[in-house]
Amino acid sequence: MRAIDLETRVISAVDRIRAAQQVENDLIECKRDWPQESKARQLAGSLNRAGGDPVVYIIGIDEKTGDVHDISGTDVLDWWGQMTPQFDQLPPEMVRHISVPVGRNGEHVVAVAFASDRAPYVVKTGSAKPSLEVPMREGTGTRTARRDELLRLLIPTVSVPPVVVLSGELYIEHHPAVAAKRRPDGMQVSGQDEYVHVNGALKLYFEHHGKDPVTLPAHGMRGQLEIDGTVFSTQVSQARELTNYGESTNLAMAAPRDGVTLTGPRAVHFDIKIPDITVDHLLEFEVAKSVVYRVELDVLHAPRPLRADVTLTRQDDQVSSDLNSEYQLVIGRWNFGHPGLVN
């Protein structure tokens, strides 16, 4: 995981916390203080559930309030040195740790990423009966793994490639009802019924470096749009792209009509449709400063779908330059751009 990608994920999570949105899931945890040694069981459970994906701890923020706390009194390597003895034989690998600024007054949190590609991870219980345990994360709790879950950890599966959100867009227009009328030159202008036009897009970069192809079936693409606690189901599909074969036959991606097959790193454009947005919802969007895309893409023969969350922010400067008339009223445009991209 690159530092810029970890930082982007943390900033997005902190923005959602401050907007009173849910953040924690199987792959991300928020901690107000440095976890004690007893929390090694929880970390092992998250890593055993992750199926090869990295697990990220954001340390120094209260997920309920969004308050940032000073954790500078503890060195990350000293803390990790106290955690590793709680694991049997093989502790997880701490692949990256960085300090991430999250406020104008010098506030910062510490982001720590752990690899999960050597599961199962076993922890010491501190008791003689039993002395060891393979934990498994479930929701907000941790329990002992079942036999079938242990077997799944040992079955070779397709690894879910890391994904980076490069860009996102949501654009909403309101087209009021217009009655038919005759222009001054005598030409008849047809009327129109009231409707809402919604255009959404997302560009994802798949960091696939494995030897085997990874397939994202079209029927396994789905997502949600969240705005101030209201959730809309979204239809996700690969955008049509023109492919220039040129002189090379070594393509990084094939794009059949029924999904996407990756054989190497590649950026892919997706169309986002939200059919349930109607005129009744326009007031919510008129005042919304941000919206959140949550996308899930099934990966063939993988233990879990590929997930990508991104917060889009309102672009008022672009809206003001758009056409507003009796035929068309721009409600808003929300954008996201990866900070590593040069505009």
Query: For 231-279, how does the pLDDT look when each residue is reduced to its tens digit (9 = 90+)?
Result: 999 999 998 765 554 554 455 555 556 889 999 999 999 999 999 999 9
136 with 200, same domain: the answer is no
180 with 308, same domain: the answer is yes
199 with 314, same domain: the answer is yes
* Ranges 209-213, 254-258, 285-289: which has the least confidence: 254-258
Q: How far apart are CA 171 and CA 197, in angstroms?
A: 8
Higher per-residue confidence, 182 vs 202: 202
How many domains does the chain contain in total? 2
147 with 240, same domain: the answer is no
pLDDT band at 326 (very low <50, low <70, confident <90, very high): low
With a threshold of 0.85, does the pTM exceed it? no
Residue 44 contacts residue 73 (beta carbons within 8 Å) = no
Amino acid at 200: G
Predicted confidence at residue 40, as pLDDT, reads 95
Looking at 154, 176, 196, which one is the last position of a domain? 154
The sign of the CA dihedral 10, 339, 168, 266 is: negative
146 with 180, same domain: the answer is no
pLDDT band at 320 (very low <50, low <70, confident <90, very high): very low
Q: Please indicate, yes or no, if residue 342 is contained in any of the structural domains.
A: no
148 with 191, same domain: the answer is no
Longest Cα separation, the chain: 94
Domain that holds residue 169: 163-337
Residue 32 contacts residue 60 (beta carbons within 8 Å) = yes
201 with 306, same domain: the answer is yes
136 with 169, same domain: the answer is no
Residue 330 contacts residue 321 (beta carbons within 8 Å) = no
Q: Please indicate, yes or no, if residue 146 is contained in any of the structural domains.
A: yes
Q: Please indicate, yes or no, if residue 343 is contained in any of the structural domains.
A: no
Amino acid at 96: R
